[in-house]
């Protein structure tokens, strides 16, 4: 399932979920802005943070302009270009005489982000797993949230803060960053930027700690976010532990919580569990590795994702050190 969410519709549908959608998203690469700020600014850390926020504010405004342009372009299309969307109530609110804008105005214009963790490393030398990093993270997310609320009122369109999946951008943005700034420890020493405001995948934190950290930021997002924890396949023998984790996430107000468990299947005998390259049942090597890499289940992530995302998956640690 996709992490996209519909916030409150300013054009009359309120919290209606069905028949609306994410019309256009754009993602801001936070580490690049942080590097630009750091290169340009001379002064102390608080000054740098403020300078960064003012630059980010400009980029958020540019992003808004870009989204409006795209929205207008999409609205200028004929309903015939995607006929099914305007039939059978797929898109709520469609009034033929008014054009497709009548339906699309209920959707979301999403302002996304990539690499909060690396951005914080550049600015202050730690990420939001530390209290100091979390403080700055909240200032960044508050800026996003405030601007989206203002744009929503001003343009009567549903701007929202989006914690972008960035399946491909995590890699392509990093490649560009490395070409410009080289390898910086904790920032660009990998092939991918960390997903949205997630805790970096290689950090040794428990499920509870991961939920504690990310739940402090999920509330800033109205256009969608996901929090996932990685657990070993063996957790299926421990439903009590699963229940504890899920209840904890719900108590912490995580809007969309996911537990990732590897499901590997032997294509020779059908045996299913977490395996490496050999089936413990029949010794076969024809193993399909089903993984939830982003929102969706993916057969063989090796084929489905670029090398940045593959490395990200391989660097994921299990958050399993919970009490059973
Ligand atoms: Zn087998």
Per-residue pLDDT tens over the stretch 21-49: 999 999 999 999 999 999 999 999 999 99
Of 191-205, 215-229, 235-249, 301-315, give the lowest mean pLDDT range.
Answer: 301-315
**Angstrom distance (rounded) from CA 210 to CA 230:** 10
Residue 274 has pLDDT above 50, yes or no: yes
Helical ranges in the chain per DSSP H: 30-40, 45-75, 101-104, 116-124, 131-155, 169-181, 207-218, 239-251, 301-304, 307-315
**Angstrom distance (rounded) from CA 256 to CA 215:** 10
Ligand 1 center–CA 232 separation, angstroms:
20
**Across 126-133, average pLDDT:** 98
Ligand 1 center–CA 153 separation, angstroms:
58
Cross-strand pairs, 260: 230
Q: What is the pLDDT of residue 235?
A: 86
Cross-strand pairs, 229: 259
Ligand 1 center–CA 324 separation, angstroms:
30
Backbone angles phi, psi at 145, to 5 degrees: -65, -45
Q: Could you report the per-residue pLDDT of 74-93, keeping only the tens digit for each?
A: 999 999 998 998 988 889 99
Ligand 1 center–CA 286 separation, angstroms:
8
Q: pTM of the predicted model, to two decimals?
A: 0.92
Q: Which residues surround ligand 1, an ion (CB under 5 A)?
A: 266, 268-269, 271, 279, 281-282, 284
Q: What is the pLDDT of residue 323?
A: 43
Ligand 1 center–CA 294 separation, angstroms:
27
With contact defined as beta carbons under 8 Å apart, do 297 and 290 qualify? yes
Q: Where are the beta strands (DSSP E) in 253-301?
A: 257-260, 263-266, 272-273, 287-292, 297-299
**Across 299-319, average pLDDT:** 84
Ligand 1 center–CA 78 separation, angstroms:
52
**Angstrom distance (rounded) from CA 32 to CA 86:** 39
Q: Is 40 left (phi over 0), alpha (psi -120 to 50) or beta?
A: alpha
Ligand 1 center–CA 181 separation, angstroms:
47
Ligand 1 center–CA 265 separation, angstroms:
8
* Residue in 65, 70, 75, 36 with CA at minimum distance from that of residue 53: 36
Ligand 1 center–CA 141 separation, angstroms:
48
Expressed in percent and rounded to 5, the helix, strand and coil fractions of the chain are 45, 15, 40
Residue 284 has pLDDT above 70, yes or no: yes
């Amino acid at each position: 399932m996709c992490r996209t969410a519909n916030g409150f519709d300013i054009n009359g549908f309120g919290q209606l979920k069905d028949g609306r959608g994410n019309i256009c998203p754009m993602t801001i690469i936070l580490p690049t802005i942080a590097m630009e700020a750091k290169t340009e600014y001379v002064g102390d850390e608080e000054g740098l943070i403020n300078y960064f926020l003012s630059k980010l504010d400009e980029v958020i405004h540019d992003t808004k302009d870009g989204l409006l342009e795209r929205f207008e372009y999409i609205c200028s299309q004929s309903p015939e270009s995607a006929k099914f969307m305007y039939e059978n109530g797929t898109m709520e609110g469609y009034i033929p005489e008014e054009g497709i804008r009548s339906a699309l105005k209920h959707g979301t214009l999403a302002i996304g982000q990539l690499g909060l963790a690396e951005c914080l490393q550049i600015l202050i030398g730690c990420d939001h797993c530390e209290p100091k990093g979390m403080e700055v993270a909240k200032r960044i997310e508050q800026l996003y949230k405030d601007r989206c609320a203002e744009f929503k009122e001003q343009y009567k369109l549903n701007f929202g803060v989006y914690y972008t999946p960035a399946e491909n951008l995590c890699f392509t943005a990093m490649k560009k960053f490395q070409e410009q700034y080289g390898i910086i420890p904790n920032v660009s020493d990998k092939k991918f930027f960390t997903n949205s405001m997630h805790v970096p995948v290689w950090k040794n934190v428990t499920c509870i700690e991961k939920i504690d950290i990310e739940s402090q930021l999920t509330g800033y997002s109205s256009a969608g976010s996901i929090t996932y924890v990685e657990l070993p396949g063996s957790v299926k023998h421990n439903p009590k532990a699963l229940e504890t984790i899920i209840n904890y996430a719900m108590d912490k107000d995580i809007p969309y919580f996911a537990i990732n468990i590897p499901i590997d299947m032997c294509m020779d005998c059908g045996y299913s569990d977490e395996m490496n390259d050999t089936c413990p049942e029949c010794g076969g090597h024809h193993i399909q590795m089903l993984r939830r890499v982003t929102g969706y289940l993916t057969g063989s992530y090796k084929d489905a994702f670029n090398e940045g995302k593959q490395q990200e998956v391989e660097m994921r640690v299990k958050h399993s050190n919970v009490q059973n």
